[in-house]
Amino acid sequence: MEQFSPYQHNHLLAALPDPELRRWQCELEPVDLALGQVLYESGIRMSHVYFPIDAIVSLLYVLEDGGSAEIAVVGNDGVVGIAIFMGGESTTSRAVVQSAGKGLRMRAHVIKEEFGRSGPVLHLMLRYIQALITQMAQTAVCNRHHSLDQQLCRWLLLSLDRLNGSELLMTQELIANMLGVRREGVTEGALKLQRAGLIRYARGHISVLNRQGLEQRVCECYQVVRDEYNRLLPRISAI
């Protein structure tokens, strides 16, 4: 498997059997994903799916008045653009890069053909989609019932799970858009975590100093999502 090492950094690709991964080699194109880059807009026909490597992409629902809220995050655990192979071609959400990095992309018609083979790709993607739906549902519950402090902890932990390291480059405005709150609320929440010695935040740079402390402070929503990913995608979780 060493010849496929560039693809091992995305855990969903790494979970593919060798024959499928070999077939995909010439179809996966390396791309740079810039902070704030929009990969697709609501209602727009998608041309590619994206497999993040060390970037994180936020799936946002955008209201008519311009307000938005995050419904899920995708990093090296998965793929952005599931509507393509689920038959919808477009979706009501927007995909925005929340942490810059690299990724791989595949043309829409190729991933649809692979999904339609009804083999390992189909089964792997369906399990991933179920895990993603769990994350979306739990995000809705969390945003309705838990404090901003807990939501911020959940968001930080989900992001860290999809990155190598303990640092994030993220502006307050972007975090506010993700959580669907005012910037002042993000500032207050970040300062609270900083005073507790859990993070250090300055000029859009977040360093997590005490992950265990975040896990103790977060609501149950984070563990529900993590457990479901581990249950449905054990090979991915073990990578």
At 3, is the pLDDT very low, low, confident or very high (cuts 50, 70, 90)?
A: very low
Which domains are delineated in the chain? 2-119 (2.60.120.10), 142-226 (1.10.10.10)
∠ Cα 143 160 209 (to 5°):
100
At 239, is the pLDDT very low, low, confident or very high (cuts 50, 70, 90)?
A: very low
* Three-class HEC string of 148-177: HHHHHHHHHHHHHHCCCCCEEECCHHHHHH
Residue 163 has pLDDT above 50, yes or no: yes
Residue type, 159: S
| Burial label, 211 (beta-carbon count in 10 A; 0-12, 13-18, 19+) | middle
CA nearest to 161, candidates 86, 90, 73, 231 = 73
The region of weakest confidence among 101-110, 169-178, 185-194, 213-222 is 169-178
182 vs 152: which has the higher pLDDT: 152
Q: Express each pLDDT in 44-85 by its tens digit.
A: 899 999 999 999 999 988 877 777 778 899 999 999 999 898
Rounded to the nearest 10 degrees, what angle do helices 148-161 and 183-195 cross at? 80
Residue 93: predicted pLDDT: 85
Contact 229, 129 (CB under 8 A): no
At 237, is the pLDDT very low, low, confident or very high (cuts 50, 70, 90)?
A: low
What is the average per-residue pLDDT within 78-102?
A: 88
What is the average per-residue pLDDT within 155-184?
A: 76
108 vs 171: which has the higher pLDDT: 108
Residue 125 CB coordination number (10 Å): 20
Residue 40: predicted pLDDT: 92
Report how many helices (DSSP H) and strands (DSSP E) the chain contains, helices first. 11, 10
Residue 4: predicted pLDDT: 41
At 1, is the pLDDT very low, low, confident or very high (cuts 50, 70, 90)?
A: very low
∠ Cα 19 20 26 (to 5°):
105
212 vs 201: which has the higher pLDDT: 212
Residues 6+ apart with CB under 8 A from 100: 32, 33, 34, 35, 55, 169
Residue 106: predicted pLDDT: 94
Integer Cα distance of 159 and 161 in angstroms: 5
What is the average per-residue pLDDT within 113-131?
A: 88
Task: Give the N- to C-terminal CA distance of the chain in Å, as an integer.
Answer: 14
Residue type, 128: Y
